[in-house]
Amino acid sequence: MGYYSHMRYITQYILEDLRKKMVFIGGPRQVGKTTLAEAILSDSFPAGRYLNWDFDEDRQDILKKKWSEDNSLLVFDELHKFPRWKTWIKGIYDVTHTKHSFLITGSARLDVYRRGGDSLVGRYHYWRLHPFTLDEIPKGISLKDAFRRLMTVGGFPEPFLDGDERSARRWRRERFDRVLREDVRDLESIRNIQLLSMFLDMLRHRVGSSITLSNIATDLQISPKTAKSWLEVLERMYLIFSVRPYTRSLPRAVLKPPKVYFFDNGDVIGDEGARFENLVATSLLKRIHFLEDRDGYRYELRYIRDKEGREVDFVVIKEDVLEELIEVKYSDESISKPLIYYSKRLNPKRATQIVANLKRNFDKGGVKVVDPISYLRKSI
């Protein structure tokens, strides 16, 4: 796996940013953050040092600030589990940033601190690492094979590179267990992990549908407030992400609940249509996060549904301007009527329908109908 690590799509930008500020890398557990950090160390900072808060010896060295002045890069992994990590790293950086570069990685929470009041403001750049997608495929894997793997085992490096469904199922179960029993326990005050696990399973069956939390809460006999906070916890742990409705300039838009998608395409329980929609959602989110982190623009990923039930799967908004409407279908080539309706009403820069089993791409009535490989392989 190390062979692929330095090929990750954000590596060159991280190296540029390390010259100026600290760099934070957030993202799901087992998405390759540690492998990427180790590759940056071996390729560009051989005199650097890697310290992981989860290892006893490293933790002691972190608390005692015990490393060499010659360590040109200091990598701190899972540092957010140290309760006072922000103040601690701020002090170290302010005093020693002329001697060391700093790379901080974590599977949760870093993103939370990036928002809101932040004592580290102006001292770091933040990058979010995502699983493999069609616009980032390791050498030796064809586009067709990559699509098959993304649809069956998902894009996380270990199962994706292995390509075996049985191994992927075992890997996924272990990963769920670790996130729920270790990361959630370390960072959140949730007592009933078993109920949280059932909540997660219910979401796995509802990918692509709007989620009415009060219904799920009734089924699990928890309060809607608890269900809402659990949804936020699962988002903070990079297991899921929510896509909320777009309502601006649509008087008949419905303030519908969010739709929920999974960072790991293999987590989706349902038909190929649901898994394909999830695959498009993760690819769009990856591209949006990359453009935000690299260029500083503000993007949003939304969906549209009005009182008449007209729905379009995804809306991409850049700096409050509607860039693109995207409808996702598994096999139906006929152009979605709501997509035509909204593209006339909202006049986006682009209107696209992505069809998994499309024989050839075509344009009709201002809508581009494309296969996923043509659309999603656009380079990041």
Phi, psi at residue 242, to the nearest 5°? -100, 145
pLDDT score, position 101: 96
pLDDT score, position 181: 84
Q: In what helix (H) or strand (E) does residue 162 lie, and over which residues does it extend?
A: helix 157-162
Choose among 112, 58, 82, 50: nearest CA to 186: 82
Instruction: Check: CB of residue 136 under 8 Å from CB of residue 58.
Output: no
pLDDT score, position 141: 94
Residue 49 half-sphere exposure, CB side, CA atoms within 13 Å?
14
pLDDT, tens digit only, all 380 positions of the chain: 444 545 799 999 999 999 999 999 999 999 999 999 999 999 999 999 999 999 999 999 999 999 999 999 999 999 988 888 888 999 999 999 999 999 999 876 665 455 545 678 889 999 999 999 999 999 999 999 999 999 999 999 999 999 999 999 999 999 988 888 888 877 677 878 889 999 999 999 999 998 999 999 999 999 999 999 999 999 988 999 999 999 876 666 566 789 999 999 999 998 999 999 999 999 999 999 999 999 999 999 999 998 888 999 999 999 999 999 999 999 988 999 999 999 999 999 999 999 999 999 999 989 999 999 999 987 66
129, with CB counted inside 10 A (0-12, 13-18, 19+), is buried
pLDDT score, position 2: 41
* Collapsed DSSP state (helix, strand, coil) of residue 97: coil
Amino acid at 157: P
173, with CB counted inside 10 A (0-12, 13-18, 19+), is exposed
- pTM for the predicted model, two decimal places: 0.92
Virtual torsion, Cα 202, 208, 210, 212, nearest 10 deg: 0
Residue 354 half-sphere exposure, CB side, CA atoms within 13 Å?
25
pLDDT score, position 116: 45
Q: Domain 2-128 class?
A: alpha beta
pLDDT score, position 3: 43
Q: In what helix (H) or strand (E) does residue 91 lie, and over which residues does it extend?
A: helix 85-96
Q: What share of the chain is helix, strand, coil (3-state, %, to 5)?
A: 45, 20, 35
Across the beta sheet with 350-355, the strand order is: 259-262, 240-245, 299-305, 311-318, 321-329, 350-355, 367-370, 362-364
Residues of the chain with CATH 3.40.50.300: 2-128
Instruction: Check: CB of residue 38 under 8 Å from CB of residue 103.
Output: no
Chain center to CA of 297: 17
Give the CA angle between residues 283, 284, 288 to the nearest 5°: 120
Choose among 208, 212, 215: nearest CA to 243: 208
pLDDT score, position 120: 80
CA distance 291 to 222: 38
